[in-house]
Amino acid sequence: MGRKLLLDKAHIEGIRYYDTYRSNGGYAAAEKALKTLGPDGVLDEVKKSGLRGRGGAGFPTGLKWSFIAKPEGVPRYLVCNADESEPGTFKDRYLMEFIPHLLIEGLLISSFALGANSCYIYIRGEYAWIPDILEQAIAEAKNKGWLGKNIQGTGFDLEIYVQRGAGAYICGEETALIESLEGKRGNPRIKPPFPAVKGLWQSPTVVNNVETLAAVVPIINIGGDEYIKYGTGKSTGTKLISACGNINKPGVYEIEMNISVEEFIYSDEYCGGIKNNKRLKACIPGGSSVPVLPANLLLKTAKGETRMMTYESLADGGFATGSMLGSGGFIVMDEDQCIVRNTLTFARFYHHESCGQCSPCREGTGWMKKVLQNIEYGKGKMSDIDLLWDIQRKIEGNTICPLGDAAAWPVAAAIRHFRDEFEWHVANPQESQTRNFGLAHYADPLPAPTPAAV
């Protein structure tokens, strides 16, 4: 059994409510932070822990917090990004639904460290029932003196507000989230200035993912030095992985970042293998926007090492032969899945969710969708594959926010690793409507590199 830090008490009945949470050691970390550590102590512990942002980019949280500007007389804000809209990712939902007090305790400690007296949870509109759970938990915590004025007699004030989004993926981007929170159209802002300097209502703001803020609680409980003993290298601690696709046991798993991808897919503790004893074809290890990997590159890196469930190992080989841990939306595809179809689904999603502010993303995502639609429905041409490659190349890196990159990467990776399947679709338009390309050679062992002829 892997060690757990976030979900270790998730099985306890009634943990959603304050009394059960408190009697199982809840709010001990908040007490420790408020009464003994102080704001700088909390920041030190988080820095020591090596905690990295769990929303996708993996930016060190302690470093992010230390960037926040501290001008006199200007309020600072903490915003919790609960706009979890990435296809394949549903870990934050689990956390908020079952242990809301863990998040609230995390918010309390983080706000205390940052000196923020107002904190916002921006939650996606589709999670219609969760704001009620959170608001109930906030009311309970307020009743018990963990929120409001003069918390536990320490003189620290904090209010937490829950704000529902209207169901736009783009509002998960931190500056678009801030715009939306201000009541404006959810368009990403042009950076700089970064939110740490001018964020919500032009005040210094830190935006963190739900899981990141919840992970602050165990860090304070056990201490940053103990936390780095979990995981491997720079990927410290535990990570929630929302596994889905063709696996026997889909769900949210907390893993310590020291297991291999193979173990995660095939062990009974986690995914329990591929459904119906099919073979693994491909996997998207970190939510829809990260590059898809064929089976042979997923389990072993191009160098022949075992691929681990860590930030570094999954990114090993760059985009040529690697992927990203991303937000932990682990999508497994068996031999019956069609990569072209899957890529079209993603392209359609990004086209639908593009905010339309900058031209490469607004026009390019729709174009990619239409070209992919032609290939998928047997109307494609061979030149379309190169055209797709060219479109994604011209979107990537040229947009205001990372949504352009997120739209370009899945298409790029699908063509890079599964070009044969695209070509088969174009060459056999009739057949491609009735059957799939199948596993083909995508699970074959990689050819051993031959030394160059002298």
Partner 1 sequence: MLPASTKDIKMAEEIKLFKVKIDNISVEVEPGTTILNAARKIGGEVVPPAMCYYSKLQGSGGKCRTCLVKVSKGSDADPRPMPKLVASCRTTVMDGMEVANITSPEVLDARKGVVEFLLLNHPLDCPVCDQAGECHLQDLSYEHGADSTRYEFKRRTFDKVDLGDHIKLHMTRCILCYRCVYTADQLTEKREHGILGRGDASEISTYISQSLDNDFIGNVIDVCPVGALTDQTFRFKNRVWFLKPVDAHRDCENPKCCGKTVLWMRGDEVFRVTARKDKYGEVEAFICDTCRFDKKEAKDWIIEGPRKIERNSVISQGHYVNTVKPKDPLVDVLDGRQPKLLFDIHSESKVNRPDIDLSKINGPAHSDDFKK
Binding site for partner 1 (CB under 8 A): 168, 170, 185, 190, 351-360, 362-367, 370, 387, 393-394, 397-400
Q: How far apart are the first and last CA of the chain?
A: 51
Tell the smallest beta-carbon distance from residue 406 to partner 1 (Å): 14
Local structure of 371: helix, strand or coil? helix
Tell the smallest beta-carbon distance from residue 249 to partner 1 (Å): 36
Q: Reduced to 3 states, what is the DSSP secondary structure of residue 245?
A: strand
Locate the DSSP E strands across 124-237: 159-164, 205-209, 231-232, 235-236
Scanning 199-254, the segments in alpha helix (DSSP H) are: 210-222, 224-227
Measured CA to CA, the distance from residue 258 to residue 238 in angstroms comes to 9
DSSP result, 108-134: HHHHHHHT-SEEEEEE-TT-TTHHHHH
**Closer residue to partner 1, CB minimum distance, 45 or 173:** 173
272: tokens are: 């329990």
Is the CB of 137 or the CB of 407 nearer to partner 1? 407
Of the pair 87, 364, the CB lying nearest partner 1 is at 364
- What's the min distance (Å) between Cβ of 327 and partner 1? 22
Whole-number Å distance between alpha carbons of 70 and 311: 31
Which lies closer to partner 1 via its Cβ, residue 45 or residue 384?
384
Distance from C-alpha of 421 to C-alpha of 207, rounded to nearest angstrom: 40
In the complex, what is the shortest distance from the CB of residue 399 to partner 1, in angstroms, rounded to a whole number?
A: 7
Q: How far is the CB of 188 from partner 1 (least distance, A)?
A: 10
Residue placing its CB nearer to partner 1 in the complex, 236 or 399: 399
**Contact between residue 18 and residue 137 where contact means Cβ atoms under 8 Å apart:** yes
Residue 190 vs 320, nearer CB to partner 1: 190
CA–CA distance, 102 with 214 (Å, rounded to integer): 6
Q: Least distance from C-beta 393 to partner 1, angstroms?
A: 8
Amino acid of residue 447: P
Instruction: Please state the closest distance from residue 166 (CB atom) to partner 1, in A.
Output: 11
* Alpha-carbon distances, residue 333 vs 43, 241, 295 (angstroms): 41, 16, 9
Encoding tokens for residue 235?
């990927």
CB of 35 or CB of 394, closer to partner 1: 394
